[in-house]
Amino acid sequence: MRNRLLLRLLAIALIGIPLLSAAAEPISEKPNFIIVFADDLGYGDLGCFGHPTIRTPHLDQMATEGMKLTSFYVAAPVCTPSRAGLLTGRLPVRSGMSGGGDKRVLYPGDEGGLPPEEITIAELLQDAGYATACIGKWHLGDKPEYMPNSQGFDYFFGLPYSNDMNIEEGHPRHASSMDPDADFHWWDVPLMRNGEIIERPADQNTLTRRYAQESVSFIKEHQDQPFFIYLAQTMPHVPLFASDDFRNESSRGRYGDVVEEIDWCVGEIIRTLRETGLAENTLVVFTSDNGPWLRKKFAGGSAGLLRDGKGSTWEGGQREPTIAWWPGRVPAGTVNSGIASTMDLFTTAVHLAGGKVPQDRVIDGMNLSELLFHDKAGPRNLFFYYRGDQLCAIRKGPWKAHFNTWDGYSKVPPESHNPPLLYNLDQDPSEQHDIAADHPDVVKDLIQEAKGHLEAVTPGEPQYYELSPSWQEADFGLPSGAREVPKRNLQG
Amino acid sequence: MRNRLLLRLLAIALIGIPLLSAAAEPISEKPNFIIVFADDLGYGDLGCFGHPTIRTPHLDQMATEGMKLTSFYVAAPVCTPSRAGLLTGRLPVRSGMSGGGDKRVLYPGDEGGLPPEEITIAELLQDAGYATACIGKWHLGDKPEYMPNSQGFDYFFGLPYSNDMNIEEGHPRHASSMDPDADFHWWDVPLMRNGEIIERPADQNTLTRRYAQESVSFIKEHQDQPFFIYLAQTMPHVPLFASDDFRNESSRGRYGDVVEEIDWCVGEIIRTLRETGLAENTLVVFTSDNGPWLRKKFAGGSAGLLRDGKGSTWEGGQREPTIAWWPGRVPAGTVNSGIASTMDLFTTAVHLAGGKVPQDRVIDGMNLSELLFHDKAGPRNLFFYYRGDQLCAIRKGPWKAHFNTWDGYSKVPPESHNPPLLYNLDQDPSEQHDIAADHPDVVKDLIQEAKGHLEAVTPGEPQYYELSPSWQEADFGLPSGAREVPKRNLQG
């Protein structure tokens, strides 16, 4: 420990000679990890991903000094299962956290949550000697046994679920609940520190600022120990709140205010890492839990050139604007379009920490070290897009086949496709030109991959589920019994 | 001249001390200008504007060292009038170069062209002592009196018109003329040096490379004289051709190959400017003539988060991915969303060269110096969107009113809107949410602005025009006589 401290002090002393610190081997026997997980941020909502008016200088700078990942996916197109996928390195269907039917996320008071027998990235890093913090939104079950302190996090500061929850349906305030000028008192969401409610309702105006402060404090307090911070922003999920310094500052409106405050928050973290001499030993990854909530209009984001948004298995629902930063390790100014996923962050972090991923269960994550540190294509060639417990689409290399589509924006009825729709995502990232008819062999291959996957998947006991036979599975010969799992938990 | 050379040699000697050269006042009594004008490139087609698979490291680096302009417009959504607007600093309707009806661009053998009485940026810079070169596609009339050497350019190397021209409609080769694996011999377009045809058909495979070589040579040969290069790329206009080094290299397909070769070309120019010590005295602006040709599917580009593309007055037709670069003058790493236009480049360049814009005619261009060099909002608050000689839309600050819309992609019939559609482009750059009903005062104000503009505009004698009463003007009280101009020239 003393040696680490001395080396860091030396690094601070040498700060005027940047070439040396960039060229030197990093102090990386146990690097720190920070995952900044925005909420409902769209692929097109950052300057470096092409937004014309939202100003994100800190994230742009992070991209200039690091890597933009342009085919980076989350495990599901909505909150709860996406978070479960990141923290466990597994497809949410395996842990029973996928949701299903009309029940797609957990609600306050639900009986279920992330099963204690699941092994989180925080638990593995904790075992490896890391200090671990969950700062921000949890949304993986609000009973004590499901909460962060029971899932490998030494420290928790944040909300147990989404910031729009705890207003009953039909309440007169509900209709306007997304009004960006609304009073935060309309939402009765609690702010917690570890197991204690410290504020209710949480003052949402200052949440992003306080998350930044908490993150900075945690970094400063753990300079002599490797640490992991899972910073799950509450914003830009509606309702949108920003602190005084950012409110009404963005020409993009309240949504822009909120994203610009998140950008500031990331800047504070990067600045702290530099000041503490930890920059060369810390991997920071910025991404989001799912695509933009398009139905919220001005209060929702933009998927840029991608189709659709939150809730959909079109690209806009699950491909996120992602930046990886680690001076001296992640090559500066690179753009990598290799397929990667939040689940891979699990495996990558465990590997870098010198640990081993669990051997007693299927782990979907893959080690991204070659991709991140050598700008290679990476190990992942397949990605599976689930809506709830339904496999809707599959990507293999540039090819994506849709068996079921469901428009996340307009709530039009879902459609099954047999044969599936086929797109070449490298050439047609906007999924505009179905070319299934031109590539029967590719279609056949992707159907086989999907069948093989479904036959091999063992769904976990559903933690929340509401049976709704409102749409059909694609008829591509999957073993239908595999999806007929009992419901365990219904709201209220 | 000798002093300039000495200063440049000194700058080269000091190249190891970048801080000094960045901080020093540039040698800018008469800076050089290079405008790189891509053809049919979409807003979303560069890495730094959010494309996931097209690799543009040189343009990304140019943006990191300079400024991204995110609300930068061309004067028209198709080739010929867009080029006329850039070169004259005037709305194309004023010079008779707007086209109209079904005739929207010039064709080989047309009688008309950019009128000699128009004053081009090249003529003004030539008068101010500049060496001037037009390298690339002209498309402003192919009779000698309209060609570059008659319009202020000392030197011309390129094509007189688009690379898909000179195949007659109905010819059996025409249907597949956009096949990216087609032989270039299918297009009979000539390559010219000054007034001479030096190759016919032009070998399109090597055009981008030869444009780069010509530009580099022109820079090297004019180190002791201020120069202006108008580099109007032939690509990525279909048919798409790339040289051996780039063909089949991009995961985006042939369109990506071609954009990546343009990126390389820009890199060659920047490298040459650094090597010759001219970087600190040269303003380089990269943009495109209009949005992506969406109907060409894989052979067309992407407008990113903007709506529609080439041919349309939705944003995707006229807002272009624009980068300004001038080390020491344009602040590095900035993103500016101020409204600006190619016509403003005319005025800005003339101002920086110590000249004066013509006083005997209306010039629509404005001086962007404050925007470019101090990252300010800039002087422009209004922009007028024309399709042919029809005013279709107007932008004022963040607001855009559409009086007529015409989908550039699907060729659906045009629609008139009374009251106009209204969008807030800062908050809704994708033009998804018409909010005219919520802002009657804004609508009224924009109608007044449009009326005032139309009453004041004197259309020039049409240089090419085909009367086609296929759609109606918006009924917002414009003096209809203003649009009833005689046709002069129909295609042979």
CA B103, CA B463: separation in Å to the nearest integer? 10
- The CATH fold of domain A382-483: Arylsulfatase, C-terminal domain (3.30.1120)
pTM of the predicted structure, to 2 decimals: 0.91
Instruction: Mutation target for A interface from B41, B43, B48: give the one with most A CBs within 10 A.
Output: B48
- Interchain CB distance below 8 Å, A60 and B333: yes
Are B80 and B138 in contact by the 8 Å Cβ rule? The answer is no
- Interchain CB distance below 8 Å, B251 and A426: yes
Contacts of A303 in chain B (CB under 8 A): 305
The ipTM estimated for the assembled molecules is 0.89
Contacts of A298 in chain B (CB under 8 A): 427-428, 433
Report the share of chain A in percent with pLDDT over 90: 77
The more confident residue out of A475 and A353 is A353
- Interchain CB distance below 8 Å, B50 and A55: no
Are A403 and A421 in contact by the 8 Å Cβ rule? The answer is no
Closest residue in B to A320 (Cα) is: B52
Are A91 and A344 in contact by the 8 Å Cβ rule? The answer is no
Q: Is the pLDDT of residue A469 over 50?
A: no
Buried b (16+ CB within 10 A) or exposed e, B357-396: bbeebebbbbbbbebbbeeeebbbeebbbbbbbbbbbbbb
Note the Cα A271 to chain centre separation in Å.
23
Q: Where are the beta strands (DSSP E) in A60-116?
A: 67-69, 72-73
Are A308 and A408 in contact by the 8 Å Cβ rule? The answer is yes
pLDDT at position B414: 78
Q: Is the pLDDT of residue A10 over 80?
A: no
What HEC string does A447-485 produce?
A: HHHHHHHHHHCCCCCCCCCECCCCCCCCCCCCCHHHHCC
**DSSP label at residue B319:** B
pLDDT in tens, chain B (492 residues): 344 544 444 444 444 333 333 333 344 589 999 999 999 999 999 999 999 999 999 999 999 999 999 999 999 999 999 999 999 999 999 999 999 877 889 999 899 999 999 999 999 999 999 999 999 999 999 999 999 999 999 999 999 999 988 765 555 555 444 555 566 667 789 999 999 999 998 999 999 999 999 999 999 999 999 999 999 999 999 999 999 999 999 999 999 999 999 999 999 999 999 999 999 999 999 999 999 999 889 999 999 999 999 999 999 999 999 999 999 999 999 999 999 999 999 999 999 999 999 999 999 999 999 999 999 999 999 999 999 988 999 999 999 999 999 876 655 677 889 899 999 999 999 999 999 999 999 999 999 999 999 999 999 999 987 654 443 444 554 444 334 444 443 332
- Interchain CB distance below 8 Å, B253 and A298: no
- Interchain CB distance below 8 Å, B50 and A253: no
pLDDT at position B190: 94
Contacts of A43 in chain B (CB under 8 A): 50
Which of A58, A79, A222, A402 is labelled catalytic? A79
Pick the CATH number of A30-374 from 3.40.720.10, 3.30.1450.10, 3.40.50.720, 3.40.1670.10: 3.40.720.10
The more confident residue out of B107 and A115 is A115
- Please return the burial class of B419, using the count of CB atoms within 10 Å of its CB with bins 0-12, 13-18 and 19+: middle
A68-86: per-residue pLDDT in tens? 999 999 999 999 999 999 9
Contacts of A251 in chain B (CB under 8 A): 337, 398, 426-427
- The CATH fold of domain B31-374: Alkaline Phosphatase, subunit A (3.40.720)
In the structure, what pLDDT confidence band is assigned to residue A95 with cuts at 50, 70 and 90? very high
Interface list for chain A against chain B, based on CB atoms closer than 8 Å: 43-44, 47-53, 55, 57, 60-61, 64, 68, 70-71, 251-253, 255-256, 297-298, 302-305, 333, 335, 337, 398, 426-430, 432-433
Interface list for chain B against chain A, based on CB atoms closer than 8 Å: 43-44, 47-53, 55, 57, 60-61, 64, 68, 70-71, 251-253, 255-256, 297-298, 302-305, 333, 335, 337, 398, 426-430, 432-433
Contacts of A432 in chain B (CB under 8 A): 297
Q: Same fold for the domain at B31-374 and the one at B382-483?
A: no
**Alpha-carbon gap: B49 to the closest alpha carbon of chain A (Å):** 4
Q: Is the pLDDT of residue A214 over 60?
A: yes
- Interchain CB distance below 8 Å, B44 and A305: yes
The more confident residue out of B266 and A3 is B266
Q: DSSP per residue over B335-368, as a string?
A: EE---EEHHHHHHHHHHHTT----SSS-------
Closest residue in B to A398 (Cα) is: B251
Instruction: Mutation target for A interface from B41, B46, B53: give the one with most A CBs within 10 A.
Output: B53
Are A177 and A164 in contact by the 8 Å Cβ rule? The answer is yes
All structural domains of chain A with their residue ranges: 30-374, 382-483
Contacts of A60 in chain B (CB under 8 A): 333, 335
Q: A173-187, A216-230, A291-305: which has the minimum mean pLDDT? A: A173-187
- Interchain CB distance below 8 Å, B57 and A430: no
**Alpha-carbon gap: B263 to the closest alpha carbon of chain A (Å):** 15
Which of A51, A58, A134, A139 is labelled catalytic? A139
Among A251, A297, A337, select the one facing B52 at the smallest CB separation: A337
pLDDT, chain A, mean: 88
Q: Which residues of B are tagged catalytic? A: 79, 139
**Alpha-carbon gap: A293 to the closest alpha carbon of chain B (Å):** 14
**Alpha-carbon gap: A49 to the closest alpha carbon of chain B (Å):** 4
A27-83: per-residue pLDDT in tens? 458 999 999 999 999 999 999 999 999 999 999 999 999 999 999 999 999 999 999
pLDDT at position B21: 37
pLDDT at position B410: 56
Average pLDDT over residues A213-234: 98
